[in-house]
Structure 1
Amino acid sequence: MFTVTSQDQNSKSTRPRVVIIGGGFGGLALAKKLKNAPVDVILLDKHNYHTFQPLLYQVAIGSIAADSIGFPIRRIFTDYNNFTFNMAEVQKINPEDNTLTTNIGTVYFDYLIIATGSNTNFFNNKQIEHFAMPMKNIPEALNLRSLILQNLETAIVTKDMDEKFALMTFVVVGGGPTGVELSGALAEMRRLILGKDYHGVSKYDMKVYLIEGKAELLASMSAGASGKAKQFLKEAGVRIYNSVHVQSYDGLELKIDDGKTIKTRNVFWAAGVKGEMPEGIPAEKILRGNRIDVDEINRVKGYQNIYAIGDVAAMITPDYPNGHPGVAPTAIQQGEQLGQNLLNIIKGQPTRPFKYKDKGSLATIGRNQAVADLGKLHFQGFFAWLLWGVVHIMSLAGFANKGIVFISWAINYFSKNSDNRLVIRYFNIQTRMSDSDSK
């Protein structure tokens, strides 16, 4: 074991050391705000790349390559003279001596920012956790892609008709943006690709279900957007069940609390998330959804130098009694605001409380179909779909990634096909035999 003591790890710096756990949207925004400031910034993440999570579902259904939504963290900060990145897994936070226990040694901090984001919430159902497929990172998206393609290949040759239909039945659990977009993408694969590439099966053999516990889809968006998304999906052949919950799934039979049973080999879980963090934060500081209780400047209550931002933070206010929405703009805005507040604290200047600016919501359902809520403006259809594409391309890290995704989308749009449906590794959901299962 060794101690990471400074930016070059060889000598203790006299400048304040800001340690950020997590290279997601919030962690990157905070580090950028501290560019060349009179502090040493150390960012720790278990991966050496940033993931653009809104497009994970497109990796899962083979529309784009996995590399196009990942970008090396070090590349982002090449010209920063006060920044260090270490690929490390933080095992425990030790507030009493301002250190972190990690797999690369002990890391000292003056200011700690927890920006670890969220992970899939299976609501303590171990059976569903084992057999259903989550999609919160690139390895998991690749697991979904492998499972989808493997099951389609098996369906072509199987002689057992019940097994064939189970292999070609896809159930998405969760009617938020991720669930709606994944359902729409599967329906588009069914309509445009299945009969063209998978001879021996028909689009009528493939079924797509979407299960949502609330009365409507996209509950966080306007009623118009919710209703239109539902209409688009139904027109695409998606079978939607609202106001129901999954009781169990054993790898073949999925049971819903309304008494219905669906035989399927493909259950994709997008029904909820929970904050993800290392050990060390007392239980009384953890609120609903496994989120850390923070004050108006994202400081963990009860501590002077520990902060949390993004999905893992719960800032309870009159406007947001359950905390702010777990979306990228929240994490980015909190990261930028905290960066400025840290500089103010170091300089002995007043801090400014965080105020969330809702820039609107977008969700795509399929080709030429999307919904958009931008303040008082609400629209659906082709223009919303075009806007969704522009916003997502511009939000990607790296010029090359922007170009790759744009070209991939253009080719897919005009050819109505994709070249990314490769089974490059075998994924066994029964035993979870995958080199990326550790996330």
Structure 2
Amino acid sequence: MRSIVVLGGGYAGLHAFSNLRARLGAQIKRGEIGLTLISRDGHHTYHGWTGEVLAGDLPVRSTLTELQPLLGNAFIKGNVLSADLEGRTLTVDTENGDQVIAYDHLVMAAGSTDPFDRIPGLAQNGWCVKNTRDMQKLVTWLEDLDASNLRPRNVVVIGGGLAGVETVSALAARYARLGGRKVNVRLVSSSKELLPALRPAFGHIADRAVQTLEGQGVSIKSGNRVAMIEADHIVLDDGQVIGSDLSIVAAGVSFQTLQGTEALPRNAAGQIVADRNLRVRGFDNIWVAGDIAAAAHPGTGEPCPTNALWAMKQGDCVGRNIARQLRGQSLKAFNFRGLGQAAGLAGQSGITELWGLQFTGRLAWVIRVLFFAWFMPSHRGALSVLAQFGANLGSAALEAAFGRRDAAGSVSDSQAAVANMPGRLR
């Protein structure tokens, strides 16, 4: 029996697994091929709703999809300790002790980690929102403050890309809705203009995002990097000190090297270098997809973006090519060139670029929500989120008629719980 092992339960890993299961299902049922996915976490985290979670419009659990119901016996929850590339084995720390798992084809799709090593003081005094545990701790802390009628005096979000803009808009909306003592909300960006990836081609929606933030009262500091994060302030690279009781980094990622994989080619950032078919360069049985992949954009030759949609499409490509290689067919180069990009803003508003078309306001938000819901790993999770958004819109209408909600995050437990139910893997 030939064995395929996928490392990582994120976007790339799930899409590679799903594609392989769809294409090789008959051989898997006959026991000719073994397919396994290994993940340290027992759930998949969907980051598309980070802004809504921070604003209090969705609970953290609505972003989680349990892997066991999706993958069944093909799923192993464990931490991969090391790899033996010559022996084609992995050593995995599981609940039942260390296991040695053999593979014929290996998919490296473990993604990236938050950049705690990039900014001094971040690990001790700041927050990141990529990791589910960190997000849950942050949201719990914010809710505890809300319940005590306490507010941070100064909030700083670091990062001038889509994630930073979405995060700072969500926090500004949260505190505007709660009322009470004014909270100073700031966005710090190393680029001279916010959303540089959108400019100049999509400058219209980039400018609209800036206007929205300014309308929310967000102070924007551009052209400076953060040199240090302290408990009650941050220090910029020019020595300027900005007060901050809550510092959140929404920019940058780091990459870890699995013991035993040091021979794999990597770029300066630590990503694994892929060929145009998404095989690891120099290896015929190791594949790479997602943030950890240094893959060339098929149109520009520049590095592919490190975001969810590109990870999904790379996972699809890897799954397709492994199946083709096992059948003796020629491989197909990764040829995805992008669909669009979007960010949610306060008040069910947003900016969206889709196939080169630019949208703003409520229409942009609706397009983004439907687009993101479609790419969630389970139908039930997507329906749960859509139901919650519908409830939020109804609540907003009542609020406009009868007054403000008492607290942020008044989400329905029954609706949110649906996201934890088993759902069909797309």
Distance in 1 between residues matched to 2:240 and 2:145, nearest whole Å:
23
Q: Say which of 157, 160, 166 aligns to 1:175.
A: 160
Question: Is 2:4 aligned against 1:18?
Answer: yes
- Which deviations, in whole Å up to 9, do the C-alpha atoms of 1:292-323 show, x marking residues without a partner? 11111111122221111011000135745542
Q: Which residue of 1 aligns with 2:304?
A: 324
- 1:373 Cα deviation from its structure 2 partner: 1.2
Q: Distance in 2 between matches of 1:286 and 1:52?
A: 27
Query: Which residue is 2:105 aligned to?
Result: 111
Amino acid aligned to 1:187: A
Q: What's 2:219 paired with? A: 239
Alpha-carbon contact 2:167-2:250 (below 8 Å) kept: no
Q: List runs of 5+ in structure 2 lacking aligned partners.
A: 28-32, 397-404, 412-426
Residues 1:395 and 2:346 aligned together: no
2:53 is aligned to: 59
Query: What fraction of aligned residue pairs are identical, expressed as a percent?
Result: 25
Are residue 129 (structure 1) and residue 123 (structure 2) matched?
yes
SS of aligned partner of 2:113? strand
Is 1:27 the counterpart of 2:7? The answer is no
Query: Which residue is 2:135 aligned to?
Result: 141
Q: For residues 225 and 345 of structure 1, what CA distance do their matches in structure 2 show? A: 43
Q: Which amino acid aligns with 1:279?
A: Q
User: What pairs up with 1:306-345 in 2 under 5 angstroms?
Assistant: 306-316=286-296, 319-345=299-325
Give deviations 1:202-227, integer Å, cap 9, x for gaps. 3xx21111111112222222222211
Distance (whole Å) between structure 1 residues aligned to residue 117 and residue 300 of structure 2: 23
Residue 72 of structure 1 aligns with which residue?
A: 66
Distance of 1:37 and 1:44 partners within structure 2: 22
1:230-264: per-residue Cα shift (whole Å, max 9, x none)?
11111111111111111111211211224432222
In 2, the alpha carbon distance for the partners of 1:330 and 1:99 equals: 28
- Mapped contact 1:179–1:210 kept (Cα < 8 A): yes
Tell me if structure 2 keeps the 8 A contact 1:56–1:137.
no
CA distance in 1, matches of 2:315, 2:237: 40
Measured in 2, the distance between the counterparts of 1:240 and 1:47 equals 36
Q: Secondary structure in 2 aligned to 1:372?
A: strand
* One-letter code aligned to 1:85: F
Aligned partners of 1:126 and 1:106: how far apart in 2? 37
Aligned equivalent of 1:210, options 153, 177, 187: 187
Higher alpha-carbon deviation: 135-144 or 407-416: 407-416
AA in 2 matched with 1:179: G
TM-score when normalising by structure 2: 0.85
2:88 match: 98
Query: Structure 1 length as normaliser, TM-score?
Result: 0.82
Count of residues paired in the alignment: 387
Deviations 1:337-392 (A, max 9, x none): 11121112112221111112311111111114211112231121121111112222
- Flag the 1:342–1:318 CA change in 2: closer, same or farther, 3 A: closer
Q: Conserved in 1, the CA contact under 8 Å of 2:54 and 2:174?
A: no
Moved more, 404-413 or 298-307: 404-413
Q: Comparing 405-414 with 172-181, which one deviates more in the overlay?
A: 405-414
CA contact (8 A) 1:295 1:301 kept: yes
Is this contact kept in 2: 1:57–1:135, CA < 8 A? Answer: no
Compare 108-117 and 348-357 and name the one that shifted more: 348-357
Distance 1:261 1:283, change over 3 A: farther
1:17-42, Cα deviation, whole Å (9 max, x unpaired): 00000011111111111221522110
Cα pair 1:216 1:226 within 8 Å, conserved: no
2:340 counterpart (352, 360, 369): 360
1:84 is aligned with what amino acid?
Answer: A
Instruction: Decide whether aligned partners of structure 1 residues 154 and 256 sit closer, same or farther in structure 2, where only a CA change above 3 A counts.
Output: farther
CA pair 125-57 structure 1, distance change in 2 beyond 3 A: same
For structure 1, the 5+ residue unaligned runs are 1-13, 157-163, 196-200, 423-439
Task: Find the aligned partners of 2:38 and 2:362 in 1 and give their Cα distance.
Answer: 41
Find the counterpart in structure 2 of residue 40 from structure 1: 34
CA displacement at 1:123 relative to structure 2: 4.9
Taking the aligned partners of 1:324 and 1:149, their CA distance within structure 2 comes to 37
